Chains A and B, each alone.
Chain A
Amino acid sequence: MIGYENDTSVLHGAHPYTPLALAGAVFCLVFAARSPEHVGALLAVAVLLAVLAGALGQALRAALAIALPTIVLLLVLHGLLGPAPYSFVGPFLISDSGFERAVVLGGRITTVLVATVAVLRSVSPARLVDAMTDRGVPFSVTYLLVSTLTLVPRMRQRAAGILEAQQCRGLRLGGSPFARLAALRPLTLPLILGALMEVDEQVLALDSRGVGRSPRRTALDPPADTEFEWLLRWMCLVVVVAAWTARAREWLL
């Protein structure tokens, strides 16, 4: 996965399912949380995950680069342009409910972002594949998720190559909107057709490597799992279900 870095942090050494479960729980819980306090608590958990993944610096940078502009926009959308009552914050007249909403929404996005960084940095794709194979996840699922990630950079390179080649043949990238729309054809067509023609070879190669011939693939290096981690993952599920049940009850009653 993009962002994975080899390290010896706590999360790096855990079974790959564990950071995924923890971040997944944070993700689900943060959308159930409605008050700034709850979102703040979950943000703290996400920051803890980032620390455990050795990714605090990266998470802070991502938060600054991505979450901060969004938060500013939210403050404008909801704070400045929100409904009454209003209060003065410095020179600005801010909607009270709008401000709270902006904080909750901004906090959510930041929390998800920080948790994402933690997971992406600490879960190795190779270990994840081994873990999934070990647990009997159908090969097609593993292949689709992980192998496509390898295909994407190669296709991006090819797209860049097609762009250059067509420009050498006289394609102009600028001009009127219609000219630019028309330029889509000589760029996208070779990319898609070229890729379609390779599909057969990929299918043949995989079949030739025995995919689907045995009911169970051998996992070369199945990551170790502990009872504690197993319990932790189940607790995540329980907490998420409990939180969403409570939220559903609030909506219904």
Chain B
Amino acid sequence: MSPVLAMRLVSYRYAGADSPALAELDFEVNGGELIAVTGPVGAGSSTLLMVAGGYAPRLIGGELGGERLLAAERPAIVFATPWTQITGLCRSVFAEVAFGPASLGWPEPLVRSAARDALAWMGITHLAERDPAQLSGGEMQRVVVASALAMGPDLLLLDDPAAELDPLAANSLYELLGRLAGRGAAIMVATPDLDRARRVATRALRLETGRVVADGPAAQVLG
């Protein structure tokens, strides 16, 4: 099976920056893997996710070096700040979660069932009729993750997704990610939460100043 993502000596420099944010990245991501991306602040974990998903430099400018082979047809990315990821167009959580499938032009019954399933996976079916703008940070973040899941992504990228969540919700989220990877999705999670990552991740990448310094089984890399 060919990898969902292959990086061959990839480097990335933000527009106007003196030095590259990422350098000599060389790894592959396959379906069914849950990769934890860790490193100190400023190591480049968030940038790596944006490059991995094909969002940089396409949407935010900058220069990409090396070769990036992105085979994923439906990448999705989730950031730590939920309020910037709510569309602002939807008056109900259900419509918000259905937004992605609707954007893809799926038939209406499929859009609805995908949204229902995603709400159920995230345990937020009870929020379906609420106004997304009125939710707490934790609830909003779960809606954002559900919105990404509703599109059935083949490469799911999450940047510190549990930052706004309470411990119970954070546990649920990581368990869910583990189950999704078990079903074949390729998942990369940038996280400072090594404990939770260790429980579900199959593999881990450790970054330092934009370079991968360790790449191997999660138990080994995360300690």
Residue B32 CB within 8 A of the other chain: no
A96 to chain B, nearest CB (A): 52
**Which B residues lie within 8 Å of A215 (CB)?**
105
**Which A residues lie within 8 Å of B75 (CB)?**
208
Contact A220 B102 (CB under 8 A): yes
Residue B70 CB within 8 A of the other chain: no
Residue A234 CB within 8 A of the other chain: no
B114 to chain A, nearest CB (A): 11
**Which B residues lie within 8 Å of A202 (CB)?**
84-85
**Which B residues lie within 8 Å of A216 (CB)?**
105
Residue A198 CB within 8 A of the other chain: yes
Interface size in chain A (residues, C-beta < 8 A)? 38
Residue B59 CB within 8 A of the other chain: yes
**Which B residues lie within 8 Å of A219 (CB)?**
102
Contact B89 A151 (CB under 8 A): no
Contact B79 A201 (CB under 8 A): yes
Contact A200 B59 (CB under 8 A): yes
Of B85, B88, B92, which one neighbours A150 at CB under 8 angstroms?
A: B88
Most A C-beta atoms less than 10 A away, residue of B88, B105, B106 = B88
From known contacts A126-B95, A210-B100, A220-B95, infer whether A147 and B79 are also in contact, taking CB-CB under 8 Å. no
**Which B residues lie within 8 Å of A151 (CB)?**
88
Contact A126 B91 (CB under 8 A): yes
User: How long is the Cα–Cα vector from A154 to B84 in the complex, in angstroms?
Assistant: 10
Of A154, A203, A205, A217, which one neighbours B105 at CB under 8 angstroms?
A: A217
Residue A176 CB within 8 A of the other chain: no
Contact A211 B103 (CB under 8 A): yes
Residue A146 CB within 8 A of the other chain: yes
Q: Which residue on chain A has the smallest CB distance to residue B91?
A: A126
Q: Which residue on chain B has the smallest CB distance to residue A133?
A: B102
A155 to chain B, nearest CB (A): 11
Residue B168 CB within 8 A of the other chain: no
**Which A residues lie within 8 Å of B52 (CB)?**
none
**Which A residues lie within 8 Å of B197 (CB)?**
none
Residue B192 CB within 8 A of the other chain: no
User: How long is the Cα–Cα vector from A108 to B23 in the complex, in angstroms?
Assistant: 65
From known contacts A210-B100, A217-B103, infer whether A205 and B88 are also in contact, taking CB-CB under 8 Å. no
Residue A7 CB within 8 A of the other chain: no
Q: Mark B66-103, 1 if CB is under 8 A from A, else 0.
A: 00000000111111010111111111100100111111
From known contacts A204-B59, A210-B104, A214-B105, infer whether A220 and B89 are also in contact, taking CB-CB under 8 Å. no
Q: Mark B97-123, 1 if CB is under 8 A from A, else 0.
A: 011111111111001100000000000
From known contacts A126-B92, A203-B60, A207-B59, infer whether A154 and B83 are also in contact, taking CB-CB under 8 Å. yes
Residue A213 CB within 8 A of the other chain: yes
Residue A97 CB within 8 A of the other chain: no
Q: A204-B77, A214-B104, A220-B95 are in contact. List 6 more A-B contacts (CB 8 A).
A: A126-B90, A208-B148, A209-B147, A210-B100, A210-B103, A218-B102
Q: Would you give 8 A-B contacts (Cβ < 8 Å), ordered by A?
A: A129-B89, A147-B87, A201-B81, A204-B79, A205-B79, A208-B75, A210-B104, A220-B95
Q: Which residues of A approach B to under 8 Å, CB–CB?
A: 124-126, 129, 133, 139, 142-143, 146-151, 153-154, 198, 200-220
Kindly list the 6 A-B residue pairs having the minimum CB-CB distance in the complex, ordered from nearest: A214-B105, A150-B88, A210-B103, A147-B88, A205-B85, A126-B91
